[in-house]
């Protein structure tokens, strides 16, 4: 995969996880939160900084 393909796949993963989180409503899902944190850090490694960075990243 090219760098651009990896970035696009990672962004797609982030979008999918956010859709799942929204569908979960107020239900607490630690695994989902952990997966989202991992994708956020992976995007940051490609210099994609999500603004504002969700506060859950730093917990």
Domain that holds residue 26: 3-58
Closest CA to 6 of 46, 36, 33, 38: 46
Could you give the number of structural domains in the chain? 1
pLDDT of the residue at 34: 94
Closest CA to 33 of 15, 17, 51, 11: 17
Q: Are 30 and 4 in contact (CB under 8 A)?
A: no
pLDDT of the residue at 15: 92
pLDDT of the residue at 23: 94
Given a cut of 70, the residues of the chain with pLDDT beneath it are 50-59
pLDDT of the residue at 55: 54
Mean pLDDT score of the chain: 85
pTM comes to 0.77
DSSP-derived letter for residue 53 is P
């Amino acid at each position: 995969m090219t760098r651009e393909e990896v970035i696009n796949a990672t962004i797609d993963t982030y979008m999918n996880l956010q859709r799942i989180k929204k569908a979960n409503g107020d239900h607490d899902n630690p695994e989902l939160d952990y997966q989202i944190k991992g994708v956020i850090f992976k995007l940051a490694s490609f210099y994609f900084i999500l603004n504002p960075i969700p506060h859950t990243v730093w917990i």
